[in-house]
Structure 1
């Protein structure tokens, strides 16, 4: 059996949900071994956290510079091969760029950067490297999302006519209505989060999901965003109209002030022959809608599913698979790419998807600020 790929993690310490998600996902298929990293800006805190999760402190570093210098000084077979970036948004770009320049593979949380210009610079750095680069649009790892993608590619829906994606949360309500809290959270600070909160955080998931499952690219968008308070500098709600071509259109409805909602991410795609609907809070059900026919429910693990879907299914039918499994499938795809094994291009989102996401975020804000006008997404 091949040796495990050595993985370091930046950020994700303490009680970070994203940290737990990545650590569990990385170990899911016995492909990766977390050997160190920089979990916290405070070295002592970082070392204490490493002890807590059972990692030796000899490869816990003060900062990224220290990690790169120490790892590159080790024999090739011992050094870290891939680094996961789980830090606040403003650190994604400088960290990813430095890692690529030093020939590390990179797994980066979204959004890829804080600006589209940074994303394009990062792309040039990537092109000059030999590295694998994945962006964790986590939901693309769900088996029934992958089944949706394959069914659309096979023409089950016929020509796509309408796309409707909703992503509703309510978590920011306790913050946004408190003047002191909204002024002091990094999520609403453009210097740390970028120019968008809601679109940058969850709207970009919706945008990536649409292009992932449909196989089409959005050409133009019109955005109407909501900031709720004059002193709030970042959107926390928005509706975005989409054009793929003259006769194929869609909408993204996204909110972090949808009171009572938890993580209501719903994807509906309608073609001339049929429609498909998937809900993140019930991820093991893919609904197939056809005129004059009863609604059919497809579930993971059955032989009727595609090879891509079945590859992302670990359990027999009837056993729920969730967000950890979805992220685990992305890590599995990255492992195959690093090992130069055959893999499906839909196994993990790439730097191209991250760049498209940054373009979408900036264009959405531009559309809103210019009076809710149609703007073009770069090819």
Structure 2
């Protein structure tokens, strides 16, 4: 089988996200990591590339060198798709340059640092026709995909309540120290954008709210917490969301939820039942109804949908996790590149990244206007 030639920008030796993407890319044997620029320090980048066993000539100083060299190679040799795993402020210029030079793109979220930048990428992609994925990782979990399918098939009926929580506590070690909070890129608007918490994890919750329901959120009302006057970016927030007059919900995100690790919890209720899923226990999907005992669905069983089963790699009872979730997204991208797409929502596309940037900006706008309802659609 001819493998897709993958390039990587960022994600070097000390990067957690780099490990996640590399494992995911190798999971279904669709990709071959061909080259990249892994670190701003070229020596570190070369050392890391050698560790990966790459051809020394395909380890590049920067994106400019990579694009120039790869574009001069025969079409059947050059890198086809590039994963952008850099800090937020580099996403837009790198993705733009890649699109303009004919590459497919896989980009970490948030897509850009502004909604305007996201719309520019969308316009370029519409001209080039390139595959463009934004890695909202959690949509790749088999039981999340099962949840989406059940909702689409009307198992829980007409949706009227969505409650999504994403709680972490990691920023506590930085936020309470003036020097530390002033010297992390996550809290620097020049590098991270206008939002920290909503931009980092709140956007996952927003994407999940639209991915699972298949319906776009119409309005938001936000109350954000910056904690200290000298801190320019939110580190906690609550966002009321409205799909329609009769379907409403709440997104709760925090990076100061002391003691929490990665508590991403999704609850969706309809007039016939409800569904609950927790990222820290991803193999359990709970189905609630008023006339039957609680049902627990698990991955790998024949009762699950084809969409769920396609991303299930182990027999029932064998835990799968975040590497598998990202791997399923890479599988969806590979199928799209090869024109073999099987399922709607097999990977989060550019439009979802654009929606995420709109959500971030409108949420901050709602807070700054005094916690008022703001329309989420242009």
TM-score (norm 2): 0.99
SS at 1:37 equivalent: strand
Equivalents in 2 of 1:319, 1:55: separation in Å? 33
Equivalents in 2 of 1:73, 1:340: separation in Å? 25
**What residue is the counterpart of 2:130 in the other structure?**
131
In the alignment, structure 1 segments of 5+ residues that lack a partner are none
1:89 aligns with 2:88: yes
**What residue is the counterpart of 1:275 in the other structure?**
274
**What residue is the counterpart of 2:355 in the other structure?**
356
**Mapping 1:245-284, distance limit 5 Å:** 245-284=244-283
Following superposition, the deviation at residue 314 of structure 1 comes to: 0.7
SS at 1:184 equivalent: coil
**What residue is the counterpart of 1:43 in the other structure?**
42
**What residue is the counterpart of 2:102 in the other structure?**
103
> Which range is displaced more, 54-63 or 354-363?
54-63
Following superposition, the deviation at residue 54 of structure 1 comes to: 2.5
Following superposition, the deviation at residue 57 of structure 1 comes to: 2.1
Q: 1:194-228: per-residue Cα shift (whole Å, max 9, x none)?
A: 00000000000000001001111100000000000
Equivalents in 1 of 2:336, 2:252: separation in Å? 34
Q: 1:241-295: per-residue Cα shift (whole Å, max 9, x none)?
A: 0000001100001000000000000000000000000000000000000003211
In the alignment, structure 2 segments of 5+ residues that lack a partner are none
Equivalents in 2 of 1:342, 1:55: separation in Å? 30
**What residue is the counterpart of 1:342 in the other structure?**
341
**What residue is the counterpart of 2:156 in the other structure?**
157
**What residue is the counterpart of 1:239 in the other structure?**
238
Equivalents in 2 of 1:124, 1:214: separation in Å? 26
Q: 1:283-325: per-residue Cα shift (whole Å, max 9, x none)?
A: 0000000003211000000000001000010111001110000
SS at 2:98 equivalent: helix
Equivalents in 2 of 1:345, 1:56: separation in Å? 36
1:211 aligns with 2:210: yes
Equivalents in 2 of 1:181, 1:254: separation in Å? 22
**What residue is the counterpart of 2:372 in the other structure?**
373
SS at 2:365 equivalent: helix
SS at 2:371 equivalent: coil
Equivalents in 2 of 1:342, 1:100: separation in Å? 21
Q: Count residues in correspondence.
A: 378
Equivalents in 2 of 1:186, 1:14: separation in Å? 18
Following superposition, the deviation at residue 50 of structure 1 comes to: 1.1
Equivalents in 1 of 2:35, 2:178: separation in Å? 39
Following superposition, the deviation at residue 55 of structure 1 comes to: 2.3
**What residue is the counterpart of 1:331 in the other structure?**
330
**What residue is the counterpart of 1:118 in the other structure?**
117
SS at 2:128 equivalent: coil
> Which range is displaced more, 341-350 or 86-95?
341-350
Q: 1:132-152: per-residue Cα shift (whole Å, max 9, x none)?
A: 000000000000000000000
SS at 2:240 equivalent: strand
Equivalents in 2 of 1:342, 1:208: separation in Å? 21
1:177 aligns with 2:171: no
**What residue is the counterpart of 1:187 in the other structure?**
186
**What residue is the counterpart of 1:25 in the other structure?**
24
SS at 1:326 equivalent: helix
Contact (CA 8 Å) 2:332, 2:341: kept in 1 or not? no
**Mapping 1:11-22, distance limit 5 Å:** 11-22=10-21
Equivalents in 2 of 1:130, 1:164: separation in Å? 35
Following superposition, the deviation at residue 52 of structure 1 comes to: 2.2
Contact (CA 8 Å) 2:226, 2:235: kept in 1 or not? yes
SS at 1:267 equivalent: strand
SS at 1:74 equivalent: coil
Q: Which runs of 4+ in 1 moved over 3 A?
A: none
Equivalents in 1 of 2:139, 2:341: separation in Å? 19
1:293 aligns with 2:307: no
Equivalents in 1 of 2:56, 2:193: separation in Å? 33
**What residue is the counterpart of 1:311 in the other structure?**
310
Equivalents in 2 of 1:217, 1:330: separation in Å? 21
